[in-house]
């Protein structure tokens, strides 16, 4: 870790894709570099080590825009779901986009078209691969003031014949090395091994991502993605000024929450507003690396409608372009959210039903049409306090077989004492790493 002395952690994200065989008896061909041992081996499948293009700015922008469009689309769909309506939301679009891009590399025909459509992925394969390669390199570029990194890995059933082209492509363009496991005879040991990798990549913030029973003898492949961020606010809040205040929830009730405050002369932030909402950007410390920030959309009424109406690229860009760096009196609640989603129904409704049925075509992975997705699980955690942000998220796609200028205007008050939306983003590419809404800061999810 880069900054062991930092008191505040940032954002952690991990994603998984588990692929299994539908029909038995499809392992007659020679496997790719089978491993040995009681269920676990650290042997990696050899691949071509030629490095990919670092990604042009246009390719990186295309992947970033695709990620953001998916973020807004998924938020809208989750907000409509009866199970999540009226509650807190938190997820990582970057995790889901990364995991499904890796999955999509092996999809063909209608299955591939639907994944590409739902995740808005570039149709040009070179742009897609170079864009993700560039994004991953940018995320892992490092900074003395924070830790930010991403990693991908494949875990293959040691007897199953995956196409070397697929293994090579995901290694070359996504950095996903392949490790062989014995899913058939030791599914539980395999599950423990993968969970251990996830825990290590996320500094133990995501534990037991794959639940017991999720991996069985039919499992053939697990694709993992992880991203980790640890940083602190540029302008931290004074703990001594945090006090309990009322927060009006989406349900029309009020709860007492610890409200952080910055009302001093140094409370200078990028700020904008329109007739419906206020927007505040709170940057994280950095020096030579990527500039990251949390963007909060606070409606001027207790209804989230005003903020949710801004959840499109054009409206959000207009707000950000109109933002002025100025003094703002900030009241922002401390909160902790823990969320978990099972997304097959949601993603089906969004337009990719075929991948979840026996009609799925993942022949780019193995030359057969024996694989399909049985579940997409997403788990996330975030803690926001005076020093910064600590967040974690994980995805499992389970598949069977500066000083303010002089301003005579009144100092705006940004009082987040009612529901709001927040985004953690890479300011250089605009890519949304995490996204959510707070309806009740006192609730856990």
Enumerate the domain spans of the chain.
Answer: 11-232+336-399, 239-334+404-438
CA-to-CA distance for 154 and 171, rounded, in angstroms? 9
Residues facing residue 138 across a β-bridge = none
Residue 322, SS3? helix
Domain 11-232+336-399 has CATH 3.30.497.10: yes
Return the pLDDT at 31: 42
Half-sphere exposure of 169 toward its Cβ, with a 13 Å CA cutoff?
18
Burial track 406-439 (b if 16+ CB lie within 10 A, e otherwise): eeeeeebebebbbbbbbbbbbbebbbbbbbbbbb
Copy the structure tokens of residue 127.
């742009």
Q: Say what the pLDDT of residue 305 is.
A: 87
| pLDDT value at residue 407 | 52
Per-residue pLDDT tens, the chain, 445 aa: give them: 333 333 333 444 445 555 554 433 333 333 443 333 445 444 554 444 444 556 789 999 999 999 999 999 999 999 989 898 889 999 989 989 998 999 999 999 999 999 999 999 999 999 999 999 999 888 888 788 887 888 888 888 899 899 999 999 999 999 999 999 999 999 999 989 988 888 888 888 888 888 888 888 888 888 888 877 777 999 999 999 999 999 999 878 999 999 999 999 999 999 999 989 999 999 999 998 789 999 999 999 999 988 998 898 888 889 999 999 999 999 999 998 888 888 889 999 999 999 999 999 999 999 999 988 888 888 888 888 999 987 777 776 676 773 344 455 688 999 999 999 999 899 988 999 889 999 999 876 6
Which pLDDT does position 9 carry in this prediction? 38
In sequence order, which residues have a C-beta less than 8 Å from that of residue 187 and are 6 or more positions away? 39, 215, 216, 217, 219
Q: What's the token pair of residue 17?
A: 């894709």
The β-bridge partners of 272 are 279
pLDDT of residue 44: 53
Q: What is the CA radius of gyration of the chain?
A: 22
Verdict on whether the full-model pTM lies above 0.85? yes
pLDDT of the residue at 262:
96
The pLDDT score that the predictor gives to residue 20 is 54
Q: Quote the CA–CA distance of 224 and 119 in Å, as a whole number.
A: 18
> 239-334+404-438: which CATH architecture?
Roll (2.30)
**Residue 209 has what pLDDT?**
83
């Amino acid at each position: 870790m880069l900054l062991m002395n930092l008191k505040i952690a940032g954002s952690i994200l991990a994603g998984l894709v588990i692929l299994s065989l539908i029909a038995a008896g499809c392992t007659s061909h020679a496997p790719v570099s089978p491993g040995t041992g009681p269920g676990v081996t650290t042997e990696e499948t050899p691949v071509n080590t030629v490095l990919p293009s670092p990604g042009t700015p246009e390719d990186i922008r295309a992947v970033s825009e695709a990620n953001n469009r998916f973020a807004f689309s998924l938020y809208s769909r989750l907000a409509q779901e009866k199970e999540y309506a009226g509650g807190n939301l938190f997820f990582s679009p970057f995790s889901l986009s990364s995991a499904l891009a890796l999955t999509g590399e092996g999809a063909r025909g209608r299955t591939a078209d639907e994944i590409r459509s739902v995740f808005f992925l570039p149709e040009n394969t070179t742009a897609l691969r170079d864009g993700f390669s560039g994004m991953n390199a940018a995320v892992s570029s490092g900074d003395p003031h924070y830790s930010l990194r991403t990693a991908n890995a494949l875990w293959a059933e040691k007897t199953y014949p995956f196409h070397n082209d697929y293994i090579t492509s995901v290694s070359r363009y996504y950095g996903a090395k392949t490790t062989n496991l014995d899913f058939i005879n030791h599914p539980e040991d395999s599950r423990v091994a993968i969970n251990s990798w996830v825990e290590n990549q996320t500094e133990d913030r995501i534990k037991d991502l794959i639940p017991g029973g999720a991996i069985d003898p039919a499992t053939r492949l697990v694709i993992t993605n992880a991203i980790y961020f640890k940083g602190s606010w540029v302008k931290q809040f004074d703990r001594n000024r945090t006090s309990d205040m009322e927060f009006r929830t989406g349900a029309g009730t009020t709860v007492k929450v610890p409200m952080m405050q910055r009302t001093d002369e140094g409370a200078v932030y990028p700020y904008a507003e329109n007739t419906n909402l206020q927007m505040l950007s709170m940057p994280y410390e950095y020096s030579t690396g990527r500039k990251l920030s949390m963007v909060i959309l606070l409606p001027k009424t207790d209804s989230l409608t005003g903020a949710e109406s801004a959840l499109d690229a054009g409206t959000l860009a207009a707000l950000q372009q109109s933002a002025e760096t100025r003094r703002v009196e900030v009241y922002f609640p401390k909160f902790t959210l823990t969320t978990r989603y099972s997304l097959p129904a949601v993603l089906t409704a969004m337009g990719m039903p075929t991948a979840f049925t026996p009609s799925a075509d993942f022949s780019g992975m193995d030359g057969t049409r024996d694989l399909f997705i049985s579940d997409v699980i997403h788990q996330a955690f975030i803690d926001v306090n005076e020093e910064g942000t600590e967040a974690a998220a994980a995805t499992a796609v389970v598949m069977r077989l500066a000083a303010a200028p002089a301003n005579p205007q009144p100092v705006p008050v940004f009082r987040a004492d009612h529901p709001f939306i927040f985004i953690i983003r890479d300011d250089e590419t605009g890519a949304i790493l995490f996204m959510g809404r707070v309806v009740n800061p006192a609730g856990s999810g």
